[in-house]
């Protein structure tokens, strides 16, 4: 539901402990290095090999998938002057999205939210370090990320991608994470509409459950969306020189998308809250209807049964005062007629009360 990862209370600040899945293999280290003319892609086994290839004249995108190797992170920390607290945030992968400025780089914590193959919504922390000539991305898991289209654009050399600097690459990566919200929102929207239809026709426990789950998912998305917008707001106002004017226009676009996402999320929340009321009302309406049927049937038959009961009594008919009706020649038809009259009156009464 809500992931809470934290170091044991009392641990020294900036203590680095790998929280990753113990079964996870060693992290994968990949480098995409490009300028407007050339592009190099490679996977490395060690940090040292990677650093040999590192070239400050180009844009270096170093991608680390898997956070199990604390030693490796320490090397990054030394080489790129990463503050131990930032490194700690990379490892405690349930951080709130945020952006922090350190002397020569930005540290950005964002959330990749995407639907996996079973269309379950998955959250994975993405840590980004943006320096003047490099972008370091650290992902929790190796299996999946949302950056393949960015890689394809870099390889293809189309659009702005290759002509611009590390700041634009960072934008492209963040934009890719923001774009993931839309298909999820779309499917939430669809499921809310389905729930709405069900609620008004036949509300069941399953409908209640899926409504509650939609609300929970919206809550989760909200927790990611609001701080993510703050990130863009901060980056747009950047005055450190790390982010160029041209890229800021693109980041403003991201900011607008974030605002739109938040807007839709809030609308969905309102709709989902409204549906809970509809659910309760719908149940009340059904209870009402059921009660009405019960009451009508009871009100019609209970008096009749009573009459039948009376003429089933065994008073001694020797005495002329005792149950003389039983001896009337047309007693039985009269009795039936009386019963019919009572029943009909009742039904007319209920008809008037609009209970039928």
Which residues ranging from 67 to 126 are in contact with a second copy (CB under 8 A)? Answer: 83, 85, 88-89, 94-96, 98, 100
Contacts for 244 with CB less than 8 Å, ≥ 6 apart: 164, 165, 167, 168
The answer to the question of residue 32 lying near a second copy (CB under 8 A) is no
Query: What does R_g of the chain's alpha carbons equal in angstroms?
Result: 36
Whose Cβ is closer to a second copy: residue 51's or residue 217's? Answer: 217
Which of 74, 75, 144, 292 forms a contact with a second copy (CB under 8 A)? Answer: 292
- Minimum gap (Å) between residue 56 Cβ and a second copy: 26
The answer to the question of residue 290 lying near a second copy (CB under 8 A) is yes
The answer to the question of residue 148 lying near a second copy (CB under 8 A) is yes
- Minimum gap (Å) between residue 153 Cβ and a second copy: 5
Show contacts with a second copy in window 212-231 (CB under 8 A). Answer: 212, 215-216, 219-220, 223
Which of 62, 161, 164, 195 forms a contact with a second copy (CB under 8 A)? Answer: 161
Show contacts with a second copy in window 260-289 (CB under 8 A). Answer: 260, 263-264, 267-268, 270-271, 274-288
The answer to the question of residue 57 lying near a second copy (CB under 8 A) is no
The answer to the question of residue 321 lying near a second copy (CB under 8 A) is yes
Whose Cβ is closer to a second copy: residue 68's or residue 248's? Answer: 248
Q: Rounded to an integer, what distance in angstroms lies between the CA atom of residue 13 and that of residue 9?
A: 10
Which of 74, 253, 342, 347 forms a contact with a second copy (CB under 8 A)? Answer: 253
The answer to the question of residue 129 lying near a second copy (CB under 8 A) is no
- Minimum gap (Å) between residue 132 Cβ and a second copy: 21
Exposure string (b/e) for 269-299, b if CB count within 10 Å is 16 or more?
A: bebbeebeebbeebeeeeeeeeeeeeebeee
Exposure string (b/e) for 38-71, b if CB count within 10 Å is 16 or more?
A: ebeeeebeebeebeeeeeeebbbbbbbbbbbbee
């Amino acid at each position: 539901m809500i992931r809470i990862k934290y170091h044991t209370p009392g641990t020294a600040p900036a203590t680095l402990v790998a929280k990753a899945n113990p079964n996870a293999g060693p992290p994968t280290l990949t480098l995409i290095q490009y300028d407007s003319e050339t592009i190099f892609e490679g996977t490395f086994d060690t940090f040292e090999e990677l650093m040999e290839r590192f070239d400050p004249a180009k844009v270096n995108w170093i991608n680390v998938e898997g956070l199990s190797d604390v030693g490796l992170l320490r090397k990054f920390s030394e080489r790129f002057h990463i503050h131990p607290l930032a490194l700690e945030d990379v490892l405690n992968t349930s951080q709130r999205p945020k952006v922090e400025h350190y002397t020569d780089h930005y540290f950005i914590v964002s959330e990749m939210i995407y639907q996996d193959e079973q269309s379950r919504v998955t959250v994975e922390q993405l840590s980004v370090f943006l320096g003047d000539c490099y972008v370091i991305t650290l992902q929790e898991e190796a299996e999946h990320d949302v950056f393949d289209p960015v890689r394809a654009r870099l390889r293809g050399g189309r659009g702005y991608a290759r002509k611009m600097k590390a700041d634009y690459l960072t934008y492209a990566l963040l934009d890719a994470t923001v774009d993931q919200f839309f298909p999820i929102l779309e499917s939430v929207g669809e499921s809310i509409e389905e729930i709405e239809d069900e609620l008004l026709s036949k509300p069941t426990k399953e409908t209640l459950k899926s409504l509650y789950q939609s609300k929970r998912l919206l809550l989760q998305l909200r927790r990611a969306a609001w701080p993510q917008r703050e990130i863009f707001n901060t980056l747009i106002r950047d005055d450190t020189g790390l982010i160029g004017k041209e890229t800021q226009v693109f980041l403003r676009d991201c900011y607008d998308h974030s605002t739109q996402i938040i807007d839709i999320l809030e609308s969905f929340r309102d709709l989902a809250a409204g549906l809970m009321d509809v659910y309760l009302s719908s149940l009340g309406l059904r209870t009402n209807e059921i009660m009405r049927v019960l009451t009508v049937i009871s009100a019609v038959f209970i008096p009749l049964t009573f009459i039948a009961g009376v003429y089933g009594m065994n008073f001694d008919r020797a005495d002329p005062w005792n149950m003389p009706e039983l001896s009337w020649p047309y007693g039985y038809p009269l009795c039936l007629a009386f019963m019919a009259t009572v029943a009909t009156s009742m039904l007319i009464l209920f008809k008037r009360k609009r209970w039928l």
